[in-house]
Amino acid sequence: MREFRVLSPTAILGYGFPAASFEEGMRRKPHVIAVDAGSTDPGPYYLGSGKSFTDRGAVKRDMEFMLAAAMAENIPVIIGTAGGSGADSHLAWNVDIIKEIAAEMGLSFKMAEISAQIDKEAVKQKFKEGKLAGMKAAPAPTLKDIEDSTNIVAQMGHEPIIKALEAGAQVIITGRAYDPTVFAALAVKQGYDAGLALHMGKILECAAIAATPGSGSDCMFGYLRDNCFEMATTNPARKCTTTSVAAHTLYEKSDPTRLPGPGGVLDLTQTTFEQATDSTVIVRGSRFIPDAAYHVKLEGARLLGHRTISFAATTDPIMISRLDEIVKAVKERVRGNFNDITDFFLDFKVYGQSGAGFYGGGTDRGGVMPPEAAIIIEAVAQTPQLADTICSFARSTLLHFGYEGRKSTAGNLAFPFSPSDFRGGAVYEFSLYCLMAVDTPCEFFPVKIYDLIKGVQS
C-alpha cells in the first residue's frame, strides 16, 4: 500500500520545536514539510494593522531548520497564512525572512507566493451581486463594513497551492489559507483521498497539541494511506491517543461531525479512531463532500481608535466587597466630566473578585472576600491623547474615590509600575466574517512563481 508522509514541525511558525524532534521527523523521510503560520486567536489587531503576531527572530529560527532540511532532501516546504494573518504585508514580511535565510545559507530554489488579500472594490462587487453571505458567528456584511476594513483576506483552499506545485515550486508561502490545506495539497495532487488528507491536515495544523502531553512547540508526523491515516509524534515523551487525536478533530469547531471549509464540508459521521500502538492512532472513514457552489471565508478588520490602560491592585476587603458599586460610580463620574465627548469607551477589568476570572463572574466563595483584586482600567478613544485623558481621569478618580467604610484616605490602589498608564496602541475589531461565492477556487489567489538564487529573485 502506498504511503504519503507529512512533517508538521510546530503549531505556528515561530513557536519553535526541539531540534531532536525535527531530526527524528526527517529520518522518517517526509514527502513535504508543512506548517501553519497564523491564526485569528490573537484578535483583529494583527490583520487590521498588517503586523505579525509572531516574532521575526523566532520565525527565522524555525525556517532555517525547515529550509535546510527540505533542500537537502529535495522536498517541498509549504507555509500557510504567512505572518500570522495572511494579508499582503504579512506575506511580504515572511518572504523577506526566506530571502534572508537563502542568502545566508546559499540556498537556491523555485519560490511561489500566493496572495490572499482582496481589493475592497472586488468585494463590493461581489456584495452587489448577492454573493456574500453571513455566518452564524457574525452579523451579515454591509457595504460600510467592507469600506471600513483596512485589510480583507480570504481563506484559500488547496487548489492554489496545487497550482504552485504543478509549476514546480519547492518553497510555497501563502497568504490566508484554510489551516489543513498546506498539509493536504501535495497529497491531493498525487491522488490521495481529499477527505482523509484534509482531516489529517486538520490534526497536523497544531502539531503536538494533538498529542499527550500536548505542546504547540513540538513536532507531529502524519502517514496518509489510501484508506486511512496514522498520527504519530516524533518525541518519545509524547504519545498520540484516540482521545488526544479525536479531541483535536473537534478543536475550534461548532459541529463535531461536519467541518466546513473552502469548497465543501469534511464529513466525519463515519470516522473512527483506533489505537494502533501505544503512541499512534489510525483514523478511517473521513469524507470530503463538495458544495454545489465554491465559497471562501472573508476576514476583515477595521480601526476603532486608540487604547490606554492602567494596571492597579487592592487588598482592602471593604473595597473589594463594594467594587461593583464603586466601578459604576467612577464610570458615571468620568462620563459627567466628559459629557461633551460621547465617542469613547471605558472599562474596568477586575481579576480576583468572586474568586475567579473576570469582574462580574466566577465562583461562589461562600461570602468570603478574596485577599486581593487586580484592576485594569481601559480607555479607548479616537486619538491617543484623548485615550490618555480618559484613562488618567478614571485612574485618579478610582484612586481617591470615597466609599462607605473606607478607613484610609491615602489612596485605594497600589500601582506596580511607574508610569502607571500605558499606551496600548491602535485598536481594531473584526469587520468582516462571512462567506463569498467565487467562480473558481483560484479566482482571488494569484500565484507568483520565480527562481530564488541564494536570496536573489531572478
Residue 122 lies in a domain: no
d(CA 296, CA 450): 27
Q: Could you tell me if 442 and 89 are in contact, meaning their C-beta atoms sit under 8 angstroms apart?
A: no
Residues 285 and 337 in one domain: no
pLDDT of residue 354: 61
Residues 403 and 285 in one domain: no
Residue 127 lies in a domain: no
Closest CA to 239 of 200, 277, 183, 284: 277
Q: Could you tell me if 199 and 268 are in contact, meaning their C-beta atoms sit under 8 angstroms apart?
A: yes
pTM exceeds 0.85, yes or no: yes
Q: What is the mean pLDDT of each run of 10 residues along the chain (458 residues)?
A: 96 98 98 96 96 97 98 98 97 98 98 98 97 88 97 98 98 98 98 98 97 97 98 98 95 86 96 97 98 96 98 93 93 92 92 56 54 95 96 97 88 95 97 96 97 92
Q: Could you tell me if 144 and 300 are in contact, meaning their C-beta atoms sit under 8 angstroms apart?
A: no
Angle at 143 between CA 138 and CA 149, to 5 degrees: 70
Q: Could you tell me if 298 and 153 are in contact, meaning their C-beta atoms sit under 8 angstroms apart?
A: yes
d(CA 15, CA 59): 8
pLDDT of residue 369: 65
Q: Could you tell me if 62 and 7 are in contact, meaning their C-beta atoms sit under 8 angstroms apart?
A: no
- Overall number of domains in the chain: 2
Q: Could you tell me if 177 and 447 are in contact, meaning their C-beta atoms sit under 8 angstroms apart?
A: no
CATH number for the domain including 338?
A: 3.30.70.360
Domain encompassing residue 356: 304-430
Residue 103 lies in a domain: yes
pLDDT of residue 138: 84
Residue 408 lies in a domain: yes
Residues 64 and 189 in one domain: yes
DSSP for residue 140: P
pLDDT of residue 358: 40
Enumerate the H helices of 75-173 as residue ranges. Answer: 88-105, 120-128, 143-148, 159-166
| Whole-number Cα distances in Å, 84 to 11, 68, 253, 261 | 12, 22, 20, 19
With 0-12 / 13-18 / 19 or more C-beta atoms within 10 angstroms meaning exposed / middle / buried, residue 220 is: buried
Residue 20 lies in a domain: yes
What SS3 state is found at 311? strand
Burial 231-268 (b: 16+ CB within 10 A, else e): bbbbbeebbbbbebbbbbbeeeeeeeeebbbbbbbbbb
Residue 123 lies in a domain: no
Angle at 331 between CA 327 and CA 337, to 5 degrees: 145
